[in-house]
Chain A
Amino acid sequence: MILSVRDLTVTFRTEEGPVRAIDGVSFDVAEGEILGVVGESGSGKTVSLLAVMGLITDPNAIIGGSIRYRGTELVGLPARALRKLRGAEIAMIFQDPMTALTPVYTIGWQIAEQIRAHQKISARAAMDRAEELLAEVNFPNPREALSRYPHQLSGGMRQRAVIAMALSCNPALLVADEPTTALDVTVQAGILDLVRRLRDRHGSAVVFITHDMGVVSELADRVMVMYAGRIVEKGARSELFGDPLHPYTRALMGSIPPLTGERPRRLPAIPGSPPSLLRLPQGCSFAPRCPVRFEACEARPALPAGARAAACFRVEEFQS
């Protein structure tokens, strides 16, 4: 396993009391696999991966549990040691390419900066490497793109630049946080294709965060569904899509937009809205929106161990 997360908790101290954004999340990522993490916004999918990256800088956040990268415990690791991993072995791509790059430096400068932060090479060599990377992510004119400022590129091109930067040190693990959400549909497909090709070529493991079930069904080897700070279902892609166990997963499937053909005006939405983390229901957090809830849902269903599992009392009834 390249990454093992056990009982991860992230709690924020707020004016209104502590808010548990992540509540006992455990998962593994194998070398070279693509893990899809799905959920609505506020479900904790980004926070849990930011915790893995050590990027939660809010002084009011408390992180508990264990995060092991190739056997090294990351929780409580000194900042300097963590920095050595970050950007070199574990890289991250963010949601909004418009704001993810520093506006006052050129693309080439920003890629070279990351390379030189981790490798002892000359500025010239770093620039050459940056050019190769831009070519690899299909920049039409990589040499010229080196001297471009972020605002001179389109959103899709900026995201490619961010990906090139993330790949600059050949990371073993790539965390992609909704990298296509802010982009046009046509551009999305290209980026997804790029992520898959890069995995195939470099053998990096990828954690792909998204709220879009359609993207996951295209890309992921394994899928994990999150709701209100917990994992509610996990399994291999074919299992999960062939036979969703949790009512929430089923509801999400109903909201898959077709990747091809005309998109419907309005996707069927899940009734209700995700609960406020300040006032989570006592039992199953999905119960208030669940079409099949019953008395047992007053208690909290646990997520059983194993590669294929769902946190729901009616799992057996749904299994076909």
Chain B
Amino acid sequence: MSDTTLSTAPVPARKGRGPWARAARRLWQNRSAMVALGIFLLIVAACLAAPLYARWAGVDPFQSTLDAVLKIDGVDVPVMEQSTEGLGLGYTPLGPTWNLKHYFLGADNQGRDVLARMLYGGLNSLWISAAATVLTLILGTAMGLAAGFFGGLTDTVLSRILDVLWAFPIYLLAISLSIVTLSEGLKIGPFVIESGSLWLPVIIIGIVYIPYVARPIRGQVLALRQSEFVLAAINLGVPGGRILWRDILPNVATTLIVFVPLMMALNMLTESALSFLSIGVQPPDASWGTIIQDGQALLYTRPWVALAPGLAIAVSVMALNVFGDGLRDALDPRSKIRLGRD
């Protein structure tokens, strides 16, 4: 390739425009990415407003209200209706009223307002996936940097650990970690995490995806380690820590930023799956995954209990993925950055 690369040859940047400003401009001009970001922020805002909504609608999403009676258009409607099918022993919760003021999406089998629970649960889902993302990025980057930069024995040991984590099926690893921490919590030295804590799913999800981040970072650091400016710095006797901080970390920063939304989307799916399997968020707390599980028993009678949180997950994850793709296109136009095995 000689002259044909001309159209992609680096063109001198206009004055006052650094690479970040150019990336920001490209991102801003990417309509689908901005729409996706808007949708995601809207969902976040709605979930943050959960307590306000609960107060406004006058419901307590964490309290069973089996015998509550609702007044709709002047008619008394029990939240739990006597079942008309079979022996008439069971109760069927109220279906969607499509009225934001009360039981918009109906009630679950404990008579709780599903919409209010969804907003609270969304907060947990979002928080866990965000916190797990931060944890994975910190641990993964540390391992990747150390393995790639120090090489030798450090690299061998860390790489083997990553190999093992990588080969371990994600859900089995998560299940194993969950089951031993579920009933008793986790005690590491002075740190005690209670069994119902939201930190448990954060830690579990944070750990299982470490190789997804550490492997690409290690590869990148290995390449940077051979680059002229790093070799020059080493020859000049610049201390290793400073080279890591000043020369290498800024260069992997782009990759890390691109990973954030993609990782968060992945974590959100994982959290919901763990919660669905009842090893994620523990009752009485809710997350979108636990609400889907609650709705499973009501699937054929009151499908919205399960449908709505699933839609919320799908929309959030899709928004994060679209925004993540846009971010990658903006920061890394040749799209060389790949998350894990994506």
Contact = CB atoms under 8 A, between A and B. Distances in A.
Residue from B1, B3, B7, B9 having most chain A Cβ neighbours under 10 A? B3
Contacts of A75: none
Interface in A47-95: 47, 50, 56, 58, 60-61, 95
A317 interface: no
B4 interface: yes
B6 A276 contact: no
Contacts of B12: 276
A178 interface: yes
Nearest to B14: A16
Interface in B3-19: 3-4, 6-7, 9, 11-12
B33 to A, nearest CB: 17
A45 interface: yes
A42 B4 contact: no
Contact of B11 (A21, A45, A178, A276): A276
A58 B7 contact: yes
Give chain A's interface residue range (CB within 8 Å of chain B).
20 to 34
Interface in B207-258: none
A14 B11 CA distance: 10
Contact of A61 (B2, B7, B9): B7
A113 interface: no
A15 interface: yes
A14 B10 CA distance: 11
B3 A21 contact: yes
Nearest to B12: A276
B7 A45 contact: no
A96 B6 CA distance: 17
A19 B2 contact: no
A122 interface: no
Contacts of B9: 42
Contacts of B4: 46-47, 50, 56
A41 interface: yes
B3 A16 contact: no
A18 to B, nearest CB: 11
A178 B12 CA distance: 28
A264 to B, nearest CB: 23
Contact of B1 (A56, A95, A277): A95
Contacts of A277: 6
A56 B6 CA distance: 12
B3 A46 contact: yes
A139 B11 CA distance: 44
Contacts of A95: 1-2
Given A95-B1, A96-B1, A276-B12, A42 B7 contact: no
B6 A15 contact: no
A44 interface: yes
Contacts of B2: 41-42, 46, 95, 177-178
Nearest to A16: B11
A24 B12 CA distance: 26
B11 A278 contact: yes
B1 A47 contact: no
A44 B3 contact: yes
Contacts of B1: 95-96
A12 B1 CA distance: 17
Nearest to A277: B6
Contacts of A47: 3-4, 6
Contacts of A60: 7
Interface string B151-190: 0000000000000000000000000000000000000000
A285 interface: no
A249 interface: no
A23 to B, nearest CB: 13
| 7 A-B pairs with least C-beta separation | A46-B3, A12-B7, A47-B3, A41-B2, A16-B11, A46-B2, A21-B6
Interface of B: 1-4, 6-7, 9, 11-12
13 contacts: A12-B7, A19-B7, A21-B3, A21-B6, A21-B7, A42-B6, A43-B3, A44-B3, A46-B2, A46-B4, A47-B4, A95-B1, A276-B12
